[in-house]
Amino acid sequence: MRRNNGIFPTLVFLILAVLICVIASLTVSASETPKLSARAATLYEPKSGRFLYSHNEDTRLAMASTTKIMTALVAAQKLSPDETVIIPKEAVGTEGSSAYLTEGEELTVKELLYALLLRSANDASVSLAIHTSGSVESFALLMNEKADALGLKDTNFTNPHGLPDEEHFTSAHDLAIIAAEALKDPLISEICATQKAVITSNTSTRTFLNHNKLLHLYDGCVGVKTGFTKAAGRCLVGAALRDGVTLISVTLNAPDDWNDHKRLFDLGFELTESRLLARRGEYSYSLPVIGADGASAVKAELSSDVRAVLLKTDKAPVADVRLSRYFTAPIEAGQKLGEVIFTLDGKVIARGEITSKESVPKAKKKVFLAKIKDFFKK
């Protein structure tokens, strides 16, 4: 019986091809699920609202001093940065990490925020709490009100510093949302990215070094906050910015947290991009105007570039231009006349304003009435 010598090599080739595909798929899968030490973790891209990685993200856990992100957010929203705070006796000697503040010492809110976020000073957190609302307990109520306003379901605060309490907890998911909200505040964002600060009060000068080693361990890191207690373990919230993409990473109870966050950031920047959806002036129109002095149209265009953070595998978003049929004078240069709305899978991901390129003055009353009649005759 004759052997078909062409079949065997073909089968070998097919088997090898299948094996290569399987190995490739396993490699991609492994890159998307980094091995972490954390009991709970998440990676959040705040501009799109996407969670790029999650592990036990809704598990309620102790958060230690990452609590102070919410403390800073509430204090910054309730107080002026230059407002003077007189250190109360209740804050002096607070257990744990401390700036060694003294009763009656005077610092500004801004200076206390540096102590809070760089030194992780518990006495600074109590000082801010009492100055804001009169007591630690009432300040915790403000923290919980803010958590409710952010739609958080697995967070409860009983203090502004994060010392152990069974009723004081959060989740990796919720902590990412809190950090994203806090970083919208320019002062908090500035402080979180600072490695060293010298603060002078009416009685002493102190130097604070940021506990967050990610600031020099990872290129592009801009925050946010460390935390540790025996009960909570090592907790860390990170933030990094590269090429227009900001990522927020959270680990709770993570023995190897620095490396956990580097892996999370690497994954996030591999998956995402800041994509240009439209350039300034790309959408341009001549729009009808009634009641104008010597003009029947106004030139308008997209006022600025529009970008969105997307997965590199996302398809092109859909653009929807929204403009009125006509406009009434007067119109000022730069006035918003409409917008371009970009959607992906039915979700709005970006908006761009269409604005007037010129001013169009209003016609005198008689001319105005005549032009209205002419317009509706057309």
Residue 43 pLDDT greater than 80, yes or no: yes
CA 153 to chain centre: 19
Active site residue 68: yes
Which CATH code, of 2.60.410.10, 1.20.1250.20, 3.30.70.1060, 3.40.50.720, is assigned to 279-377? 2.60.410.10
Q: Model confidence over 323-350: pLDDT tens digits?
A: 999 999 999 999 999 999 999 999 999 9
Q: What is the pLDDT of residue 87?
A: 98
Closest-CA residue to 294 (of 377, 378, 370, 373):
370
Domain 40-272: CATH superfamily, name plus number: DD-peptidase/beta-lactamase superfamily (3.40.710.10)
Residue 33, pLDDT score: 75
Q: Is the pLDDT of residue 303 over 60?
A: yes
Is it true that the peptide bond before 330 is cis, omega within 30 degrees of 0? yes
Domain layout of the chain by residue ranges: 40-272, 279-377
Mean pLDDT of 199-221: 97
Name the nearest CA neighbour of 67 among 199, 224, 193. Answer: 224
Catalytic residue among 48, 97, 120, 249: 120
Interval 262-272: pLDDT, tens: 999 999 999 99
Mean pLDDT of 176-180: 98
Active site residue 120: yes
pLDDT for position 30: 35
**pLDDT confidence tier of residue 34, bands split at 50, 70 and 90:** confident
Q: Give the per-residue pLDDT at 370.
A: 59
So what's the pLDDT on residue 239? 98
Q: How confident is the model at residue 295 (pLDDT cuts 50, 70, 90)?
A: confident
β-partners of residue 301 are 284, 355
Q: Give me the catalytic one of 47, 48, 65, 249.
A: 65
pLDDT, position 2: 39
Task: Name the nearest CA neighbour of 238 among 190, 195, 175, 151.
Answer: 175
Task: Please pick, among 68, 110, 225, 371, the residue that the annotation labels catalytic.
Answer: 68
